[in-house]
Amino acid sequence: MSILTSLLLLPLFGALVVGFLPASNAKLVKQVALAFSLLVTLVSIVMALSFDRNNSAMQFTEVRTWISAFNINYAVGIDGMALVLILMTTILVPVVFLAGWSESENGRWNVKVFYILLLILETMMIGVFSATDVFLFYVIFEAMLLPVYFLIGGYGSGERAAAAMKFLLYSLFGGLLMLAAVIGLYIISVNQGGATFDIARLSQLSIDSTTQNWLFLGFFIAFAIKAPLWPFHTWLPTAAKSATAGTSTLLLGVLDKVGTYGMIRFCMSFFPDATKTFTPAIITLAVISILYGAFLAIGQKDINSLIAFTSISHFGFITLGIFALTSQSLTGAIFYMVNHGFGTAALFLTAGWMIKRRGSSQIADFGGLQRVAPVLAWSFFIAGLSALALPGLSSFVSEFLVLLGAFAKYPVAAILGTLGIILAALYVLLAVQRAIHGETPASSAGISDLNLREKIAIAPVIAILVLLGFYPKPALEVINPTTQTIMTNAGVSDPVAKVVK
């Protein structure tokens, strides 16, 4: 059993242990769940340390027969891209546990169910990034919707049932389209002599261009709903508004990354020709997402909706970086996925604390937070700065790389994208000004500052944002080999700059 499999099973085992604890002892349940999530973090760090960054092949692989009739295997393995996303996941889960210590107490069900769902979700989040069998990926991709569905519907606020339903229906619709494409891909492999779901072998199939286009769309629409790209985004703001801060963090920070991850892992490597065919259209959608998300973010009155729309804008950047298909923009996009995960976590968690203390999620209800709760206000401020990609924070590095790479090939798209950065400054600073600065209204005077637990939760997130902002090398070094492999597979090379003498 490889270390990756143990990493996968650990949260599941944790869920089982939590299941046997007495539901009445909420504190014990939380502590055990936290302990397991920290253990998972530890194991994932150990795994990362033994990861060979010069090797571009899949590492820690393990293959076991699952359904022999279709040659479906339990096959896992990670490359640099998967590694950074898994690390992000395993770090965010304990942060979410700590940050939302009492989130689980106002739900329809008891505390235990909350942590069981989250731990099961963690296994699936790690699994979805490490699956190297398309069928296994698909199964996790679909199955992981259910814990989120129950987390939003059971522990959220407001129109939570409707939000959960909308989320699930959108995702399942995309998933079913993908199922048809997965089946199509499998049958092509059968016809070409070897039934397989193995990603590496599937990317070597020769598929005619019409079929490629259809199958590409089957995968892409599913991922675009997940990511979410305009016009498939409408489920996101409602879900983010109703879910708890922790659920939103994992939903936007990790689950939605499966969309962009899938575009790279599946769309590009299986259908290189179709990728080229659809690139102009997708770049257009990406730019629309960047601007649309940014404009709508400016107008939001609700903090969570604001964060959701900023994310739509940021996913536009990621998609732009992916489909610009230069090594800079692709590396930037993968790095962006990680930074966006931590940045969104910081935003949702601080916003969650503000909302909980004030009892309202309207930006207008806050003000002068700086005076009464300086640490909370500063954390929110830094999170906001990360969203607007301030130099010195990691998101700057990735946004810069994306735009730089994209400019070489699609200058117009890159310039329009840059507009998104300006708009980002506007929506972040407006919100920060209204919520944090100015006079403290009487209604906000009683807001208390972060306690020790909350400080411990937010500290690693901010530390990572700053550290990777000044010293992104370790992350980029891990990501680079993956980028090169993808570029080679897709058969593209970087545009050579014209040399003027």
Partner 1 sequence: MLSAPNLDYALLAPIMIILGGALIGVLIEAFAKPAWRARLQLVISLAAIVISFNQLVRVRNDGSSIAAVTSVSVDGAGMFLQGAILIFAFLGILVIADQDNFAPQASALPGSAEEAAAIQAGKQQTEVFPLTMFAVAGMMLFPVATDYITLFVALEVLSLPLYLMAGLSRRRRLLSQEAALKYFLLGAYSSAFFLFGAALLYGYSGTISLNGLTDAIRGNTGNDVFLLLGIIFLSVGLLFKVGAVPFHSWKPDVYQGAPTPITGFMAAATKAAAFGATLRIFYLGLDAAQTSWKPFIAVISVITMIVGSLAAISQRDMKRMLAYSSIAHAGFVLTAIVSLSENALSASLFYLFAYGVATIGAFAIITIVRDSAGEVSDVNRWIGLGKKSPLVASVFSLFLLSFAGIPLTSGFVGKFSIFSAAYESGNITLVVVGVLSSAIAVFFYLRVILMLFFTDATTDSISVVIPSILTRISISISAIFTITLGIAPSLVFDIAQDFAYFLR
Nearer to partner 1, 141 or 278 (CB): 141
Cis before 237? omega within 30: no
In terms of DSSP H, where are the helices of 228-362? 235-242, 245-250, 257-262, 269-270, 272-299, 303-324, 327-358
Q: Give the residue among 241, 253, 226, 126 at the shortest CA–CA distance from 170.
A: 226
Least gap, CB of 63 to partner 1 (angstroms):
16
Comparing CB distances to partner 1, the nearer of 34 and 183 is: 183
Smallest gap from Cβ 86 to partner 1, in A, equals: 21
Of the two residues 153 and 293, which places its CB atom closer to partner 1 in the complex? 153
Tokens of 91: 């770090």
**DSSP letters for 111-124:** HHHHHHHHHHHHHH
Could you tell me if 62 and 9 are in contact, meaning their C-beta atoms sit under 8 angstroms apart?
Answer: no
Nearest approach in angstroms of CB 426 to partner 1 is 37
How many helices (H) and strands (E) the chain has is answered by 22, 2
Contacting positions for partner 1 (CB under 8 A)? 66-70, 108-109, 138-140, 142-143, 146, 150, 153-154, 160-161, 164-165, 168-169, 172-173, 176-177, 179-180, 183-184, 186-187, 190
Asked if 304 and 345 touch (Cβ cutoff 8 Å), the reply is no
Looking at the Cβ atoms of 262 and 321, the one nearer to partner 1 is 262
Q: In whole angstroms, how close is the CB of 240 to partner 1 at the nearest point? A: 18
CA distances in angstroms from 17 to 22, 38, 42, 155, listed in the order given: 10, 15, 19, 21
C-alpha–C-alpha distance, residues 407 and 205, integer Å: 32
Please state the closest distance from residue 140 (CB atom) to partner 1, in A. 8
Kindly tell me which of 174 and 237 has the beta carbon lying closer to partner 1: 174
217 vs 390 by CB, closer to partner 1 = 217
Give the torsion through C-alpha atoms of 276, 282, 284, 290, to 10 deg.
Answer: -140
Rounded Cα distance, 480 and 473, in Å: 10
Q: Which is nearer to partner 1, 124 or 303 (CB)?
A: 124
Residue 186 or 315: which CB sits closer to partner 1? Answer: 186
CA–CA gap between residue 479 and residue 475 (Å, rounded): 6
Say which DSSP state 265 is in. Answer: I
Least distance in Å: CB of 175 to partner 1? 9
Query: For residue 77, which of 142, 35, 127 has the smallest C-alpha distance?
Result: 127
Q: How far is the CB of 103 from partner 1 (least distance, A)?
A: 17
CB 134 within 8 A of CB 266: yes
Shortest distance, position 192 Cβ to partner 1, whole Å: 13
3-class DSSP assignment, residue 105: helix
